[in-house]
Chain A
Amino acid sequence: MSLPVSQMWAVASYVIKQRLAGRKRYPLVLMLEPLFRCNLACAGCGKIQYPAQILRKHLTVEQCLAAVDECGTPVVSIPGGEPLMYPDIGRLVKELVARHKYVYLCTNAILLKEKLEAGIFTPSKYFSFSVHLDGLREEHDEAVCRDGIYVQAVDGIKEALRRGFRVTTNSTLFDGASPLRMREFFDEMMSIGVEGMMISPGYSYSKAPDQEHFLRTQRAHDLFSTMLSNPKRGWRFNQSPLFLQFLMGKRDFECTPWGNPTFNVFGWQRPCYLLQEGYAATFRELLETTRWENYGRRSGNEKCRDCMVHCGYEPSAVHHTFATWRGFRDTVAATVTGRY
């Protein structure tokens, strides 16, 4: 695991406080979507298919900060849409860093060089670009349905690293992904110098155009097992090793849909980042009025049956780390040895 010690400590102390307070349900990472607008139209994404007046809307910085304060998570992820298209992205990040929130700005990096040259960001241990790359050039350009994006993203990564920013990658894997090519991708990202990588299977959004290529559970286990068994010493993942073991089929967790709550122009999304079954006006309303028993694989909900996505299961893995000595020991062991 490649997280800075200060970030690990912030997350650990937060989780321990929640447990000592006896909270059964608590959030870990806020998924803050200031806008839905994007400069790509990826086949696997169901986030951007809205009428024009919705795509033109965005949250104000004040709305974003109110959501961050209300939710209280130590980590804030800013997906979208494409957050670099958000007109106040520089001020938003600055305000979050000032609050000592660990910020991941999830970007396709098309605009990254331009924004870096404009000087709207400052390097900080609290701030990381999380660049969307679904594999090497051929695989990534196909996933985002546009040629040339991989090269643009890698150029952006190099420029951000040159300027002293933290940079991670996030990769969504679909059916047909090649374990060998992904291993080459991990090598490539490490050679470029990214801090760490995040990987997750895709989820079949009901509104995503590509419904045929999402990973089913067993195929996902097979793919991640092949990809991550015998990992190279130099690979660094910016996520819980227990979650990686879950992806490989070595562990079983139940979903924690409240772990990564989502706030966007519609409000607090029920029940999770992936399913859209309604919106609550406040985070408290979301927690208290969502019928959580209807979600997760054990619920029998068809929509949750094959889901293994990080936003539901990584919080479960983190919770497990601090719920038992064994979970803690296993996390430390995997972190130290780099074996999953």
Chain B
Amino acid sequence: MSEGQTLEGWMPEIGPHLSLEEVIDTAFDYRGNITVMKVDGSQAEGYLFNRNADAAVPFVQMFDVNGAGPHTIPYREIRTIRFTGRDTAAGNSYAAWLRAKEAARSGSTRPAGA
């Protein structure tokens, strides 16, 4: 994903053009909290750190927003996933750092992360 683009706020609906497996894979790559919308109507919010589509019962694993876990949720219990948390990988590009550093050198602002 290029600089400035993020999945933050994405609320995908599973359908003929988007499978649950694709959404889970995308959530696995996402560096922010997500919310699992379950088929029974309940929700689970947290960081999805693992998924295994090859297991006898495919599952995802996550730590909740308080860091508790890991909680394991079978694929079959998931309706969709919403990308509700801040994307921690977005907006921290090297180019942005160089721009901020240049600005700091010219006496205006301090570089991010410094």
- Chain A residues proximal to chain B, CB less than 8 Å: 40-41, 43-44, 46, 49-51, 53-54, 56-57, 145-147, 206-207, 209-213, 266-267, 278-279, 289
Which residues from chain B contact A267 at a C-beta distance below 8 Å? Answer: 50
Residues of B within 8 A of A56 (CB): 67
Task: Indicate if the CB atoms of B86 and A51 lie closer than 8 Å.
Answer: yes
A26 to B96, CA, bound (A): 42
Q: Are B52 and A146 in contact (CB under 8 A)?
A: no
20 A-B contact pairs sorted by A residue (CB < 8 Å) = A41-B92, A43-B92, A43-B97, A46-B89, A49-B89, A50-B31, A50-B88, A51-B31, A51-B47, A51-B65, A51-B85, A51-B88, A53-B47, A54-B63, A57-B67, A147-B114, A209-B96, A210-B93, A211-B94, A213-B94
Give the CA-CA distance A213 to B114 in the complex, in Å.
21
Q: Chain A contacts of B113 at CB under 8 A?
A: 40-41, 145-146
Q: B95: nearest residue on chain A (CB-CB)?
A: A212
Q: Which residues of B contact A49 (CB under 8 A)?
A: 31, 88-89, 92
| Inter-chain contacts of A53 with B (CB < 8 A) | 46-47, 63-67
Q: Size of chain B's interface in residues, with CB distance under 8 A? A: 34
Cα distance, A278 to B31, chains bound together (Å): 14
Interface membership of B29, Cβ < 8 A:
yes
The distance in angstroms between the C-alpha atoms of A53 and B85, with both chains bound, is 12
Q: Are B50 and A43 interface neighbours, CB within 8 A?
A: no
Q: Collect the chain B residues with CB atoms within 8 Å of residue A46's CB.
A: 89
Instruction: Report the Cα distance A50→B87, complex, angstroms.
Output: 8
The 8 A-B pairs of least Cβ separation, nearest first, read A210-B94, A41-B113, A53-B67, A43-B94, A209-B92, A49-B88, A49-B89, A279-B50
Q: How far is the CB of A205 from chain B (nearest CB, A)?
A: 10
Q: If A49-B89, A209-B97 touch, does A279 touch B61 (CB 8 Å cutoff)? A: yes
| A195 to B36 CA separation, bound complex (whole angstroms) | 50
Q: How far is the CB of B80 from chain A (nearest CB, A)?
A: 20
Please indicate the chain B residues that have their CB under 8 angstroms from the CB of A51 in the complex.
31-33, 47, 65, 85-86, 88
Inter-chain CA distance A267–B69, complex, in Å, is 12
Question: Contact between A209 and B94 (Cβ–Cβ < 8 Å)?
Answer: yes
- Closest CB-CB distance, B33 to chain A, in whole Å? 5
Residues in B whose Cβ lies below 8 Å from that of A44: 94
With contacts A50-B31, A145-B97, A279-B50 taken as known, whether A207 is within 8 angstroms of B114 at the C-beta atoms is: no
* Distance between B4 CB and nearest chain A CB, rounded to angstroms: 12
CA distance A266 to B94 in the complex (A): 27
Instruction: Determine whether the beta carbon of B88 is less than 8 Å from that of A278.
Output: no
B82 at the interface (CB under 8 A from A): no
Chain A residues, CB < 8 A from B49: 54, 266, 279
A171 to chain B, nearest CB (A): 18
Nearest-CB residue, chain A, relative to B114: A146
Select the residue from B32, B85, B88 with max chain A CB neighbours within 10 A: B88
Q: Give the complex CA separation of A49 and B88 in angstroms.
A: 5
Q: Which residue of A lies closest to B51 (CB)?
A: A278
Chain A, Cβ-Cβ closest to B94: A210
Q: Mark B40-76, 1 if CB is under 8 A from A, else 0.
A: 0000001101111010000001011111001000000
**Residues of chain A within 8 A of B61, CB atoms compared:** 279
- Which chain A residues lie closer than 8 Å to B33 at the CB level? 51
B70 CB contacts on chain A under 8 angstroms: 266
B100 nearest CB across to chain A (Å): 9
Nearest Cβ distance between residue A248 and chain B, in whole angstroms?
27
**When chains A and B are docked, how far (Å) is the Cα of A212 from the Cα of B95?**
9
> For residue B97, which residues in chain A have a CB less than 8 angstroms away from its CB?
43, 145, 209
B68 shortest CB reach to chain A, Å:
9
Shortest CB-to-CB span from B107 to chain A, Å, is: 14
Docked Cα-Cα span, A207 to B91, in Å, equals 11
Of B33, B52, B97, chain A has the most CB atoms within 10 Å of the CB of B97
**How far is B114's CA from A40's CA once the two chains are assembled, in angstroms?**
8
**Are the C-beta atoms of A206 and B29 separated by less than 8 Å?**
yes
Min CB distance A87 to B, Å, is 15
